[in-house]
Amino acid sequence: MIRWGILGMGKIATRFMQSLNKSQEGYLYAGASLTAVKREQFSLNHPHILIYPTYEDLLEDPNIDAVYIATRHNDHYQWAKAALLKKKAVLCEKPATLTYTQTEDLCQLAKSNQTFFMEAMKTRFIPLVADMKKVVASGEIGEVQRIETSFCSDVDYQEGHYLFDKEQGGVLYDVGTYNIATTLDYITSPLQKVSTQVIYKNGVDAYDVVELVFESGQTAKLEMAIDRSKEKNMIIYGSQGTMTAVPFYRPEQAIITINNQQRVIEKSYIYDDFFTEIEEVHRCLKEKIIESPRMSLQDSLDCMYVMEKIRESFYD
């Protein structure tokens, strides 16, 4: 079985651990937190699991095969790189890094060191998404012309929280990765033009509306917010019909509409919305491959390229 280590002990690490517990292919061997209170609580709740006071200590453990990086955005690059250098397989929370150059460095290191690396873009592994991809590939809704995604939540301001840090915070770095990765899952044409409308609050981008134009003539709208709530939906406009999904980043139902006639496709999660992503890492490690075809190294680079272009447009 694959022996996992977790860097960071926040809420998302807890969700990952709960999902990993359902797997027959791997288990949590150790965790690491820089916060004494979190280490103490973790030890009380999980006395059989090792807990390290530093990330370096965990990465030095020769018994660990893979690490899940659940630290703040700004720390992803440093610790993903450190893990790869120790030949630990890496599943890194999104965004993998904050720049294209950093992402490129991790991808090159994974290749040169022949060590698995994947950005944790769970949407790509949701069971229904594979069926939605088949619908589009079949031509049922015609040629994809436009995709609209919306991921808006009203998040209370928290002093000192990474989400409101000028370097690593803001909605684009946080959930915008879902909008981008989902769009690029259906549109593969090179990006041609970006335009944005941005509202800043508490020093970070709190509401972004992004329009993308691709060389193919296809377009996309990406709406994201941490200052208002809206339905987290996606609409794919094809030349013959549409397909909608809510919530688009982890859907269990999609509606296909053609000539005012609707049909519904449904598929539930396997346990939860993390499990299939974790199982994909296990599959890749068993097959001794260094990247997943569903969220490849190039996919991470493509997502970060679009993200950088969006951020550049903030200042145009």
Question: Tens digit of pLDDT for each residue in 293-316?
Answer: 999 999 999 999 999 999 999 987
Instruction: State the average pLDDT over residues 200-221.
Output: 97
Model pLDDT, residue 264: 98
Closest among 245, 247, 251 to 268, alpha carbons compared: 251
The answer to whether position 307 is within a domain reads no
* 108 and 240 share one domain: no
Burial class (CB in 10 A: 0-12, 13-18, 19+), 124: buried
Instruction: State the average pLDDT over residues 247-256.
Output: 98
Alpha helices in 22-146, H assignment, sequence order: 36-45, 55-60, 76-85, 100-112, 127-138
* 80 and 112 share one domain: yes
The answer to whether position 55 is within a domain reads yes
What are 152-173's pLDDT values in tens digits? 999 999 998 999 999 999 999 9
Instruction: State the average pLDDT over residues 40-57.
Output: 95
* 149 and 102 share one domain: no
The answer to whether position 297 is within a domain reads no
- For the chain, the average pLDDT equals 97
Q: How confident is the model at residue 36 (pLDDT cuts 50, 70, 90)?
A: very high
Q: Which two tokens stand for residue 222?
A: 């990406």
Instruction: State the average pLDDT over residues 214-235.
Output: 98
Model pLDDT, residue 62: 98
Model pLDDT, residue 39: 95
* 55 and 169 share one domain: no
The answer to whether position 138 is within a domain reads yes
3-class secondary structure, 71 = coil
The CATH number of the domain where 233 resides is what? 3.30.360.10
Model pLDDT, residue 316: 72
* Number of structural domains in the chain: 2
Calculate what percentage of the chain has a pLDDT beyond 70.
100
The answer to whether position 313 is within a domain reads no
* 278 and 246 share one domain: no
Model pLDDT, residue 315: 83
Task: Please name the residue that has the structure tokens 């972004």.
Answer: 208
Backbone angles phi, psi at 165, to 5 degrees: -85, 130
The answer to whether position 296 is within a domain reads no
pTM of the model: 0.96
Model pLDDT, residue 122: 97
* 262 and 278 share one domain: no
What are 73-90's pLDDT values in tens digits? 999 999 999 999 999 999
The answer to whether position 299 is within a domain reads no
**Comparing 114-118, 136-140, 160-164, which segment has the lowest mean pLDDT?**
160-164
Instruction: State the average pLDDT over residues 7-13.
Output: 93
User: Is the preceding omega at residue 53 within 30 degrees of 0, hence cis?
Assistant: no
* 53 and 117 share one domain: yes
The answer to whether position 14 is within a domain reads yes
What are 264-287's pLDDT values in tens digits? 999 999 999 999 999 999 999 999
Containing domain of residue 68, as a range? 2-121+274-290
The CATH number of the domain where 14 resides is what? 3.40.50.720
* 136 and 263 share one domain: yes
